[in-house]
Amino acid sequence: MASPSLEPKQTHALLDILSHNEVYSEIEDFRYPGILENYGPPFTFQKGTPSIVPSLQALVYRFLLILPGLKDVDEAFWKERVAGIIDGLEKANLSESYDKGHIGIRKTLATAISALMEYPVRGVFAGFDEPSEEDLNRQYDTSRAEELQRAFRDLMHQIVYGGMVDEMMKKVGETPKLSEHSQLVQAAHEYILVK
């Protein structure tokens, strides 16, 4: 008997849950000294051995290691300086659980960092669909939540696949007024304020 396939909303929700749990788990594992021994590039590289923190390693490998200032950095920078900082955090006596009725420092840091990192991780592993032509000049009803959400998604599409960054920078240079930006930018701004 074939198992039923997931609907797109269910697939999206599953990706959200799995990526959140994976990123939180990877960050939480930094409490164990020596985690960088099996991290992967740029800290270590052992052929045939998968990284024990694949989500975080993918972000570093795909984004940090290609930056102009970091792509030419000596290997010692990663293995000695950055690894030294991470080792110091691993060995720090940060509280693991609840202290006097409050969440401990380690859990607070892990939660905050994972909340920031899970979005780019989703983008790396799930990708971002190219927009259809109808999205380019769409009008948005800013009184409806689903329209604001659509505007934000359309703005992200235009940032990734179009020239929206250049267009926004040019408009910011011309005027400080949000009301003079495109309706797409205004609606996406409303979404960001609400979210």
Q: Is the pLDDT of residue 127 over 80?
A: no
159 within a domain of the structure (yes/no)? yes
Compute the average pLDDT of residues 100-111.
69
Q: What is the pLDDT, as a whole number, of residue 96?
A: 57
Confidence of residue 94 (pLDDT cuts 50, 70, 90): low
Compute the average pLDDT of residues 85-113.
68
- What phi and psi, each to the nearest 5 degrees, are found at residue 95? -60, 140
How does DSSP classify residue 30? G
Do 117 and 54 belong together in one domain? yes
Do 42 and 99 belong together in one domain? yes
DSSP 128-169: -PPPPGGGTT----TTSHHHHHHHHHHHHHHHHHSSHHHHHH
Q: Is the pLDDT of residue 183 over 80?
A: yes
**Run of H or E residues at 98:** strand 98-99
4 within a domain of the structure (yes/no)? no
Q: Output the six-digit token pair for 8.
A: 């797109």
- CA 191 to chain centroid, in Å, comes to 18
Bridge-based pairing state of the strands 102-103 and 98-99: antiparallel
Distance CA 166, CA 144 (A): 28
Contact 122, 19 (CB under 8 A): yes
SS3 171: helix
Do 107 and 167 belong together in one domain? no
2 within a domain of the structure (yes/no)? no
Range of the domain at 173: 133-194
Question: What is the tally of structural domains in the chain?
Answer: 2
- The answer, as to whether pTM is greater than 0.95, is no
Q: What is the pLDDT, as a whole number, of residue 92?
A: 66
3 within a domain of the structure (yes/no)? no
Do 81 and 156 belong together in one domain? no
Q: How far is CA 130 from CA 127, 134, 154, in A?
A: 9, 12, 10
Q: What is the pLDDT, as a whole number, of residue 135?
A: 55
Confidence of residue 45 (pLDDT cuts 50, 70, 90): low
Query: Comparing 44-53, 144-153, 173-182, which segment has the lowest mean pLDDT?
Result: 44-53
Q: What is the pLDDT, as a whole number, of residue 182?
A: 85
- CA 98 to chain centroid, in Å, comes to 27
Q: What is the pLDDT, as a whole number, of residue 109?
A: 75
Compute the average pLDDT of residues 150-154.
85
65 within a domain of the structure (yes/no)? yes
